[in-house]
Amino acid sequence: MASRTVKSKSMAARRSRRATQRLTMSDVASAARVSPSTVSLYLRKPDAVSKELAERVQKVIDELGYVPNLMAGSLASARSRIIGVIIPSIVNSFYAETYNTLQNIFHASQYQTFLGVSDFLPEREEDIIRAFLASLPAAMVVTGLTHTERARTMLKAAGIPVVEMWDMPTEELHAVDMSIGFSHYEVGRRQAAYLYEQGSRKVAYIGAAINEDLRVRSRADGYEEEVQRRGLHTPITFTAPDMASTPVGIWLIDEVLSVHPDIDGVVCSNDALALGVLFEAHRRGLKVPEDMSVIGFGDLTFSDSCQPPLTTIRPPQRQIGRLSAAQIIARLDGKDIPASHTELDCELVVRGSTKPLKA
């Protein structure tokens, strides 16, 4: 009983001390009757500590209200336990899915994420990169390979793991370090090819944010290459600078049909545009897919429940997040991970907005 009374007084003293001085890892170690190195190991890699010690340390942390100093946790390497993540938009749910996957995996390894949103603006991305690097992050995850020269230079000079996701290097675009993504050019080509294979003979492409999002431009290039390869008509590409949305899709398909009323297929750069196409087709009395087949990209939350359900290309958003996080954590754990470039496949999801494949 006496030892419990002493421990209680010691804990109370530490709570009182907390009001005037920041708790340290040594305080936690002393209260838990373990070494500071054990507390440090538990905070960095909980699974590396025995269950009994882990429970003891966590109980003290909870009782003291101790908050680890993430910057001090990596003083030997002059890095924090923060990982910067930059995505172009939080409106598009597939970027959000990738970020959520990254965040969950990093959190499980005792890393925290800082999120930056560039709104597809390279200069804004540069500002975010500069701000993040000033906090000495352990690693960076950025979207795409197109950056300002200053941003690229900063990322190369940072000396930390960098993953560029959602895109693949080309002869013109080289990765800063590691890259994990897929070919947007191949997505556009595959969209067009599927519409031809199920019977369409005059296929148009509509795209939004074409000036800001070079991935949309790449998908348009893939569509145009497939159209030219088939030789049935010249490419019909209508784009808008606006962000992808259902109203923009309605406007774009209205423009297409005013010039090409005989189209029987539409490739959309985004499922939100495709939904606008379905609305406008219904308003005009056009049947989908009998009169006009429609294919999108993204497999957004509404894509399987609109009328008719939308055929689309599903990007590997969670897989991108899992592999990006795994590569970074392996590097931070000291493993020799080369500057690899992992190309993933997208899934064609066939639903009611396209015809069955011709036998």
Determine the pLDDT at residue 44.
Answer: 80
Q: Residue 308, preceding bond cis, omega within 30 degrees?
A: yes
**Residue pair 225/286 in contact by the 8 Å Cβ criterion:** no
129 is a domain residue: yes
**Residue pair 165/226 in contact by the 8 Å Cβ criterion:** no
Do 262 and 160 share a structural domain?
A: no
H or E segment to which residue 268 belongs: strand 265-268
Task: Give the span between the Cα atoms of 92 and 300, in whole angstroms.
Answer: 8
Do 230 and 129 share a structural domain?
A: no
Stated pTM of the model: 0.80
Determine the pLDDT at residue 145.
Answer: 94
Which residues touch 134 (CB under 8 Å, ≥6 apart)?
Answer: none
How many structural domains does the chain have? 2
Q: For tokens 């959602």, name the residue.
A: 166
333 is a domain residue: yes
What phi and psi, each to the nearest 5 degrees, are found at residue 66?
-70, 130
User: What tens-digit pLDDT sequence spans the chain (359 residues)?
Assistant: 333 333 344 444 444 444 335 578 899 899 999 998 998 888 888 888 999 999 999 998 888 877 666 555 444 445 688 999 999 988 777 799 999 999 999 999 999 999 999 999 999 999 999 999 988 899 999 999 999 998 999 999 888 999 999 999 988 889 999 999 999 999 999 999 999 999 999 999 999 987 778 899 999 999 999 999 999 999 999 999 888 999 999 999 999 999 999 999 999 999 999 999 999 999 999 999 999 999 999 999 999 999 999 999 999 999 999 999 999 999 999 999 888 899 999 999 999 999 998 76
Determine the pLDDT at residue 93.
Answer: 74
Do 308 and 284 share a structural domain?
A: yes
120 is a domain residue: yes
311-314 and 347-349 beta bridge pairing: antiparallel
**Per-residue b/e over 334-355, b at no fewer than 16 CB within 10 Å?**
eeebeeeebeeebebbebebbb
**Residue pair 272/266 in contact by the 8 Å Cβ criterion:** no
Q: For tokens 């029987």, name the residue.
A: 264
135 is a domain residue: yes
10 is a domain residue: no
Give the domain CATH number at 213.
Answer: 3.40.50.2300
Do 189 and 298 share a structural domain?
A: yes
Do 224 and 310 share a structural domain?
A: yes
Do 205 and 155 share a structural domain?
A: no
Q: Which pair of tokens denotes residue 147? A: 């950056």
Do 263 and 169 share a structural domain?
A: no
Determine the pLDDT at residue 333.
Answer: 93
Determine the pLDDT at residue 15.
Answer: 45
15 is a domain residue: no
239 is a domain residue: yes
Domain that holds residue 170: 79-182+318-345
Do 196 and 310 share a structural domain?
A: yes
Do 146 and 205 share a structural domain?
A: no
Do 299 and 199 share a structural domain?
A: yes
6 is a domain residue: no
Do 267 and 335 share a structural domain?
A: no
Do 167 and 209 share a structural domain?
A: no
